[in-house]
Chains A and B, each alone.
Chain A
Amino acid sequence: MEQAVLIVLNSLVYGLLLFMLSVGLTLIFGMMGVLNLAHASFYMLGAFLAYTISIRLGFWVALLVVPVLVGILGAVVERWGLRAVHKHGHVAELLFTFGLAFIIGEVVPLIWGRNPVPYRVPAELDFALFQIGGNSYPAYRLFMMGVAIVMFLALFLALARTRLGLVVRAALTHPDMVGMLGHDVPKVFTLVFGAGCALAGLAGVIAGNAYTTEPGMAQSLGAIVFAVVVMGGLGSIWGALVASLLIGFVQVGSISLDLTLGAALGRMGVAVPGTFTDLWSISIARVAPVLPYLLLVLVLAVRPRGLMGTRSA
């Protein structure tokens, strides 16, 4: 029972983290049609910058400053790089963001080294909230959830209640018409791209100290974020929320299950065949990292619009 509660809590935290990452990506794709392959790299950059700033100026300063920094970087990249490539088509845009991800993936270990950095939870939040299943549940996880929920509410209010949000939502589905109505659509694109990257940076600040901060974090989280975005539907924020909670639950739940295929067969009374011994000894926990990719491929092949998407991939 306690195991189940723990799984639910952990999958909520992980799912909300995935949501923070994917909401920026889905907005960028929904509006501009470009899948930002470097999104997870901005997340990584946020975590590393937060580490550097937090050891000099403290965690709270990092929390405020790093998303702004990463957002500005994203806006600069969009204005000077992506916009120039836009006229060459979608393949060129994909290649550009791919090259960007590659370069960030090389620059980060160049500056911070190839090993994980000791980015720690701040002392004020580093206490146990309650005891469950014999282990203590850290209060920082609740803080992470809180930040994600606040961010979602702020985004929702900004999009639904402000004039700028109205323009952004219109440009999501009808960019040409919005341009003809006199709004500066390229500037809106730059703003959305920068905001998306800022959200990724914020996710990096929050998650970098709860999970490890190392140069491989972009690659390991990147494909999962794409799976979330594609499943939720490109361009839909609610879809991103549902899909990230779902995938968070699947990931955390499957890692906790140490059942192997052979053991499952044995429970059903079927004898394990002698051949392909490797296959029967694979446990669900080891297959867990593959599941998001499988979901990504299946959703794209069967229903590219995802659960609640506004435009197809």
Chain B
Amino acid sequence: MLAPAQTLAVPSRAGGALRAVVPWVLIVALALALPHIVPGGFGLSLLCRIGIAIVFALSFNMLLGQGGMLDFGHAVFLGLGGFLAMHGMKLADDGWWLPLPLLPVAGAAGGLLAAIAAGWIATRRAGTAFAMITLGVAEMVVAIVLLLPGVFGGEEGLSGDRSGGPPVLGWDFGTQMQAYHLIAAWALGCALLMWLYTRTPLGRLANAVRDNAERVSFLGYNPARIRWLVFMLSGLFAGVAGGLAALNDEIITSGKLGAGESSSVLLMTFIGGIGTFWGPVLGAVLVTFLAVALSTITDAWQLYSGLLFIAMVVWAPGGLSGIILAHLPLARAGRLGRVVPGYLACVPGTVLALAGTVGLAELAFRLQAVRNGASPRPVFGWTADPVSIVPWLLALALLAAGALLLRRTAPAARVAWQEASVAAAAP
């Protein structure tokens, strides 16, 4: 089982309801405070992108983690919602009364309509067949979008002006700060709605279909119909994310529908952890930040995120949230100290292996640059000559040394964790 079943926390007293509300209040406070903590326009646009990614990743996890459905074409809903919202923005520019805060509703409508159509075909099957259908549908939609330049703007896409619409409470949303507050409000609202959905009977049934669809049909429900409903909701929220993206970037192209965005959200959600509600949030924050931060210092950041993804698939399929949850019982029982030495012993091996991998990737990029005649960017201020064999051998040696060290130290760390878990679980 890839994703553990979520536990239902039923508040048995008034204090329980308060405990459920407090985290949300804290999150709202954090959202209001963040633009003042994070400096500059760059930080603000990063926060906006993270907000959009959070909604997108949460909607994706409605399918993957909660419903057991692997969707390879989720960006279709993002893109179609974005295009519909962009048309709304252009209409608002032309004088129609369409206030900007309501445009993500158009995005939701676009995502929902697309999900109804695509879901009708896709949810008739489960598992691998479902994944392949979504792949096929996504490619079809991308091809069709490029064939209709009148509606979708062709290669350059559509662009608009978010301050062209009617002002709301004195705001025209021209500045990034105002756009941030709009995006944050929508992101929080959608996250709350998606969290409440997990507590509804449909949300629970989706988990049941994920775990044992045959049993659900014996209970009297139609698993395909449940999957279709969940697919529709997921598409709706992805459409909202698309509308927010159209609003934030003030342009939308066919690239938003494509394999790049679909892969990106899959990586984000999986790295964050599909077994919890908040895992995708963590993944969205981390991967967006890495993408923006790493892309300024290296060209190989896509490769690194892919390697991280595949490492998690093999060794930590619960994602980051899975790792955190696995250590919570230890922390509660005070046994965390037992595993720390084992983990520390793994650090040198990990660092060496990482250094070797990064070295190989960066050398390869520099070799490309040198072959094309450009001068390569130095890594951390160190320029190596990619043509000579020496740096390559050095990087390979680092990687080999790191791998060997890890092979030596990892089993001990795993045993320490297992013993600590057993001790923590003992009464």
Contacts and interface: CB of A to CB of B under 8 A. Distances in A.
A84 interface: yes
Contacts of A64: none
B71 to A, nearest CB: 11
B131 A94 contact: yes
Given A99-B306, A297-B137, A300-B136, A110 B148 contact: no
B307 interface: yes
B266 interface: yes
A294 B300 contact: no
A293 to B, nearest CB: 4
A92 B310 contact: no
Contacts of A277: 150
Interface in A79-105: 81, 84-85, 88-92, 94-96, 98-100, 102-103
A103 B314 CA distance: 14
B143 A290 contact: yes
B324 interface: no
Contact of A99 (B70, B140, B309): B309
A5 to B, nearest CB: 29
Contact of B136 (A92, A111, A294): A294
A304 B129 contact: yes
Given A89-B2, A278-B147, A297-B121, A95 B313 contact: yes
B132 A313 contact: yes
Given A223-B135, A289-B143, A301-B121, A99 B313 contact: yes
Interface stretch (A16-24, A137-145, A206-214, A279-287): A279-287
Interface residues of B, number: 48
Nearest to A288: B143
B132 A99 contact: no
A113 interface: yes
Interface in B121-147: 121-122, 124-125, 127-129, 131-133, 135-137, 139-140, 143-144, 147
A227 interface: yes
B220 to A, nearest CB: 25
Contacts of A312: 129
B300 A110 contact: yes
B144 A290 contact: yes
27 contacts: A35-B128, A89-B2, A90-B127, A92-B2, A99-B306, A102-B306, A102-B309, A102-B310, A103-B307, A106-B300, A106-B306, A110-B361, A110-B364, A110-B368, A111-B364, A113-B372, A223-B135, A277-B150, A278-B151, A287-B147, A296-B133, A296-B136, A300-B136, A301-B121, A301-B124, A312-B129, A313-B127
Contacts of A111: 364
B107 interface: no
Given A223-B135, A277-B150, A290 B129 contact: no
B364 A279 contact: no
Contacts of A103: 303, 306-307, 310
A293 B143 CA distance: 10
In the A-B complex, list the 9 residue pairs whose CB atoms are closest, starting with the nearest: A99-B310, A313-B129, A296-B136, A106-B303, A297-B136, A293-B136, A290-B143, A102-B306, A278-B150
B306 A219 contact: no
Which of A95, A96, A102 has the most CB atoms of chain B within a 10 A radius of its CB? A95
A301 B133 contact: yes
A89 B1 contact: yes
Given A88-B2, A301-B122, 18 more contacts: A35-B128, A81-B314, A84-B314, A90-B128, A99-B310, A99-B313, A103-B303, A106-B302, A113-B371, A278-B147, A287-B147, A289-B143, A290-B139, A293-B139, A296-B133, A297-B133, A301-B124, A313-B128
A135 B137 CA distance: 38
Contacts of A110: 300, 303, 361, 364-365, 368
Interface in A252-299: 277-279, 282, 286-287, 289-290, 293-294, 296-297
A279 B148 contact: yes
A296 B306 contact: no
Contacts of B125: 300-301, 304, 313
B56 interface: no
B259 interface: yes
Contacts of A100: 310
A110 B367 CA distance: 9
B149 interface: yes
Nearest to A275: B150
A95 B70 contact: yes
Nearest to A279: B148
Nearest to A230: B132
A91 B68 contact: yes
Interface string A105-120: 0110011010000000
A226 interface: yes
Nearest to A286: B147
Contacts of A301: 121-122, 124-125, 133
Given A85-B314, A226-B132, A98 B368 contact: no
A292 B361 CA distance: 35
B173 interface: no
Contacts of A230: 132
A230 B129 CA distance: 9
A216 to B, nearest CB: 11
Contacts of B313: 85, 92, 95-96, 99
For B121, B129, B132, which residue has the most chain A Cβ atoms within 10 angstroms? B132
Contacts of B263: 98, 102
